[in-house]
Chain A
Amino acid sequence: MTDLLNALVALANFVIIPASAYGAQLALGALGVTLVYGILRFSNFAHGDTMAFGTTITILVTWALQAAGVSLGPLPTALLALPVGIAACAVMVLVTDRAVYRFYREVRAKPVILMIVSIGVMFIMNGLVRFIIGPDDQSFADGARFVISAREFKQWSGLDEGLALKSTQLLTLVTAALVVAVLFWFLNRTRTGKSMRAYSDNEDLALLSGVDPERVVRVTWLIVAALATVAGVLYGLDKSFKPFTYFQILLPIFASAIVGGLGSPVGAIAGGFVIAFSEVTVTYAWKKVLGYLLPESLEPSALVQLLSTDYKFAVSFVILLVVLLFRPTGLFRGKSV
Chain B
Amino acid sequence: MRGAMLFGLVALMIVATGLMQSWNSALLILNMGLVSAIMSLGLNLQWGFAGLLNVGVMGFVALGGLAAVLVGTAPIPEAWAAGGWRIVAALIFAGGVIALAAVALRRLTRYRGLATLAILVAGFFVYRWIFDGGVAAVEAINPASAGNLGGLGLPILMAWPVGGLLAAGAAWIIGKTALGLRSDYMAIATLGIAEIIIAVLKNEDWLTRGVKNVFGIPRPVPYEINLQQSASFVERAQGLGLDPVTASTLWVKTLYAGLFTVVLVVLLVLAQLALKSPWGRMMRAIRDNETAAEAMGKNVTGRHLQIFILGSAICGIAGAMMTTLDSQLTPASYQPLRYTFLIWVMVIVGGSGNNFGAVLGGFLIWFLWVQVEPMGLWFLELVTSGMSDGPVKAHLLDSAAHMRLLTMGVVLLVVLRFAPRGLLPER
Residues in chain A within 8 A of chain B (CB atoms):
42-43, 100, 103, 111-113, 115-117, 119-128, 130-131, 134-135, 244, 247-248, 250-251, 254-255, 258, 262, 302, 306, 308, 310-311, 313-314, 316-317, 320-321, 324-325, 328, 336
User: A308-B203, A324-B181, A324-B185 are known contacts. Are A127 and B406 too (CB-CB below 8 A)?
Assistant: yes
User: A311-B196, A317-B196 are known contacts. Are A115 and B406 too (CB-CB below 8 A)?
Assistant: no
A-B Cβ contacts below 8 A, count = 123
Residues on the B chain within 8 Å of A121, using CB: 409, 413
B122 to chain A, nearest CB (A): 13
On whether the beta carbons of A258 and B185 are closer than 8 Å, the reply is: yes
Q: Choose among A117, A255, A314, A316 the residue with the greatest number of B CB atoms under 10 Å from its CB.
A: A314
Name the contact of B409 in the complex, choosing from A120, A251, A316, A320 (C-beta under 8 A).
Answer: A120
On whether the beta carbons of A124 and B413 are closer than 8 Å, the reply is: yes
On whether the beta carbons of A310 and B191 are closer than 8 Å, the reply is: no
On whether the beta carbons of A321 and B199 are closer than 8 Å, the reply is: no
On whether the beta carbons of A120 and B188 are closer than 8 Å, the reply is: no
CA distance A321 to B124 in the complex (A): 19
Q: B183-204, CB under 8 A of A: which get 1 and which 0?
A: 1110111011101100100110
Name the contact of A116 in the complex, choosing from B177, B203, B336, B344 (C-beta under 8 A).
Answer: B344
Q: B246-288, CB under 8 A of A: which get 1 and which 0?
A: 0000000000000000000000000000000000000000000
On whether the beta carbons of B405 and A123 are closer than 8 Å, the reply is: yes
A256 to chain B, nearest CB (A): 11
On whether the beta carbons of B196 and A313 are closer than 8 Å, the reply is: yes
On whether the beta carbons of B199 and A310 are closer than 8 Å, the reply is: yes
On whether the beta carbons of A123 and B188 are closer than 8 Å, the reply is: no
Residues on the B chain within 8 Å of A126, using CB: 337, 405, 409
On whether the beta carbons of A120 and B412 are closer than 8 Å, the reply is: yes
A22 to chain B, nearest CB (A): 17
User: A103-B417, A122-B409 are known contacts. Are A255 and B192 too (CB-CB below 8 A)?
Assistant: yes
On whether the beta carbons of B177 and A120 are closer than 8 Å, the reply is: no
CA distance A187 to B417 in the complex (A): 33
Residue of B nearest to A302 (CB): B132
Residue of A nearest to B202 (CB): A310
On whether the beta carbons of B399 and A43 are closer than 8 Å, the reply is: no
User: A127-B406, A320-B188 are known contacts. Are A247 and B337 too (CB-CB below 8 A)?
Assistant: yes
Residue of A nearest to B410 (CB): A124
Q: B96-133, CB under 8 A of A: which get 1 and which 0?
A: 00000000000000000000000000001000000010
Residue of B nearest to A109 (CB): B420
Instruction: Tell me if B341 is interfacial: C-beta within 8 Å of chain A.
Output: yes
CA distance A103 to B420 in the complex (A): 13
Instruction: Tell me if B398 is interfacial: C-beta within 8 Å of chain A.
Output: yes
Instruction: Tell me if B140 is interfacial: C-beta within 8 Å of chain A.
Output: no
CA distance A162 to B398 in the complex (A): 45
Residue of A nearest to B411 (CB): A120
On whether the beta carbons of B192 and A123 are closer than 8 Å, the reply is: no
Residues on the B chain within 8 Å of A134, using CB: 395, 398-399
On whether the beta carbons of B406 and A43 are closer than 8 Å, the reply is: no
Residues in chain B within 8 A of chain A (CB atoms):
53, 124, 132, 177-178, 181-185, 187-189, 191-193, 195-196, 199, 202-203, 335-337, 341, 344-345, 348, 395, 398-399, 402-410, 412-413, 416-417, 420
CA distance A112 to B52 in the complex (A): 10
On whether the beta carbons of A119 and B402 are closer than 8 Å, the reply is: no
Residue of B nearest to A128 (CB): B406
CA distance A328 to B184 in the complex (A): 12
CA distance A127 to B196 in the complex (A): 25
Residues on the B chain within 8 Å of A131, using CB: 399, 402-403, 406
On whether the beta carbons of B188 and A255 are closer than 8 Å, the reply is: yes
Residue of B nearest to A321 (CB): B177
- 10 smallest beta-carbon distances between A and B, as pairs: A123-B409, A127-B405, A124-B409, A127-B406, A317-B192, A120-B412, A130-B402, A120-B413, A43-B184, A313-B195
A–B pairs, 26, beta carbons within 8 Å: A111-B184, A112-B53, A112-B184, A115-B53, A115-B184, A116-B412, A120-B409, A121-B413, A123-B337, A123-B406, A127-B404, A127-B409, A128-B406, A130-B399, A131-B403, A134-B399, A251-B188, A254-B191, A255-B192, A258-B185, A262-B184, A310-B203, A311-B199, A321-B177, A324-B185, A336-B182
CA distance A103 to B335 in the complex (A): 31
Residues on the B chain within 8 Å of A125, using CB: 409
Residues on the A chain within 8 Å of B420, using CB: 113
Q: Besides the contacts A121-B413, A251-B191, what 11 more A-B pairs have beta carbons closer than 8 Å?
A: A100-B417, A113-B416, A120-B412, A120-B416, A123-B406, A124-B409, A126-B337, A127-B407, A128-B406, A135-B402, A248-B195
Residues on the A chain within 8 Å of B348, using CB: 116
Q: Choose among B184, B189, B406 the residue with the greatest number of A CB atoms under 10 Å from its CB.
A: B184
On whether the beta carbons of B399 and A124 are closer than 8 Å, the reply is: no
Residue of B nearest to A46 (CB): B409
Q: Choose among B53, B344, B413 the residue with the greatest number of A CB atoms under 10 Å from its CB.
A: B413
Residue of A nearest to B420 (CB): A113
CA distance A145 to B233 in the complex (A): 67
On whether the beta carbons of A43 and B187 are closer than 8 Å, the reply is: yes
On whether the beta carbons of B337 and A314 are closer than 8 Å, the reply is: no
A26 to chain B, nearest CB (A): 14
CA distance A128 to B409 in the complex (A): 10
Name the contact of A251 in the complex, choosing from B177, B195, B403 (C-beta under 8 A).
Answer: B195
On whether the beta carbons of A119 and B199 are closer than 8 Å, the reply is: no
Residues on the B chain within 8 Å of A255, using CB: 188, 192
